[in-house]
Structure 1
Amino acid sequence: MGGKAEYKSAIRSRRLIRQAFVDLMQEKNLEKITVTDIVTRADINRGTFYAHYQDTRAVIEQIENDIIEKLLEFLGESHYKNFFQNPLPLLLKISKWLEDDLNFYKILINSNGSEQFLVKLKNIFVNYMENDSDIQKHIKKTPEFLIQAHFFTGGIINIFQVWCRGEIESSLNELSIELSKIITNNSNLFF
């Protein structure tokens, strides 16, 4: 019984640390957030923080790793391997996932220092298209494929970023549908 209570306590502590970190990201540059800032905001002691994280960089790395893990999980589902032919299911799944914790993702995407993480996401998605998608190997080796893979991936990430800043007034579902139309209408090179 003690193990389950400890597990719940650990989950609660990590959630409080994450929320405090995200709240602080709205007020400060990432580099200026300190452990003291986090423990004060989360109303926990330093020992609790250090039981879960080595430093503030470890918090952001864990957040990034959780997001990357989720994206890779989505990409690994076999019915998303034909992304260029039918991007809508994956885009809708990503939109639903964002909506589940929208405030968090808006803050994360709009924070100073998010550019490196967004580039990491783009590279993961391009790598997926190069290695795991159902596109024929001889096509994946062409410069045209790489140009389009980088173009669409960068565009998708940018559109979500612009939406998170409030510059596009639409639902995430509407955004996904429009992106899907653009991708399917302009990726016939691969099929």
Structure 2
Amino acid sequence: MKDRRTIKTKKAIRESFLELLKEKDVQQITVSELSRRADLGRGTFYLHYQDVFDLHEQLEKELFDQLGGLYDESFPSQDPLDMLSFLNKTTEYLKEKQFMMTLFVKPNSPTTNQFKSFFKEKIMKEWQLDQRQITEHEQIVASFVVSGVVGVLEEWIHEGMTVEAGQLAHILYKLLMKVEQES
């Protein structure tokens, strides 16, 4: 079990980082100002992270690990309701992490593009379980689906998540079922 002081320190660093990320791009954040904001010494910061980019990457990795875990809980599956379950869990998770998502998910940001690549790779791996070559048509469908879903989620995040998470999940589910029927 982690030391309570370590947990508290990392939490202070992360919260201060997210506050600074509201004000400026990650490239403009320095360890000195982050440490001041967290009321810690620079040396304490370096006990936990190599630099500001390492902190950013660790936060991103946690997001991807959580979302990947949600995906892996639901797939592979032949039951279409597992897709709805995944979408519900995903939108609820994003809602729970709304503040962080607003800072990380921006149009054409590296994080948004990584989300697309991450989920496309998950879909392709699932399809490869059939032990066959994935067709160009399937690759196009996967790109379309991932770009569409990530685009809708991105817009939802930046418009303040005014649509209920469950309602959005249901809309996405209906759209995905139509795409599946047509392809």
Same structural fold, with TM-score higher than 0.5 when normalized by the shorter chain: yes
| Corresponding residue to 1:56 among 49, 52, 55 | 52
Q: Distance in 2 between matches of 1:119 and 1:83?
A: 28
Is 1:143 equivalent to 2:136 in the alignment?
yes
What displacement does 1:123 show?
1.1
Aligned AA (1:150)? S
1:85 corresponds to which residue? 80
| Corresponding residue to 1:122 among 94, 116, 123 | 116
Unaligned runs of 5+ in 2: none
1:35-114 paired onto structure 2 within 5 Å? 35-77=31-73, 79-82=74-77, 85-86=80-81, 87-110=83-106
Q: Secondary structure at the match of 1:57?
A: helix
Aligned AA (2:77)? N
Q: Secondary structure at the match of 1:188?
A: helix
The alignment of Structure 1 onto Structure 2 pairs a total of residues equal to 182
What displacement does 1:107 show?
2.2
Taking every aligned residue pair, what percent have the same amino acid on both sides? 23
Unaligned runs of 5+ in 1: none
| Corresponding residue to 1:182 among 153, 175, 181 | 175
The 10-residue stretch of structure 1 (50-59 or 86-95) with the greater mean CA deviation from structure 2:
86-95
Is 1:16 equivalent to 2:12 in the alignment?
yes
Change in 2 beyond 3 A, CA 1:53/1:80:
same
Instruction: Give the aligned CA root-mean-square deviation in angstroms.
Output: 2.4
Q: Which has the higher contact order (CA 8 A, sep 6+)?
A: 1
Contact 2:75 2:126 in 1 (8 A): no
- Could you tell me the TM-score, scaled by structure 1's length? 0.85
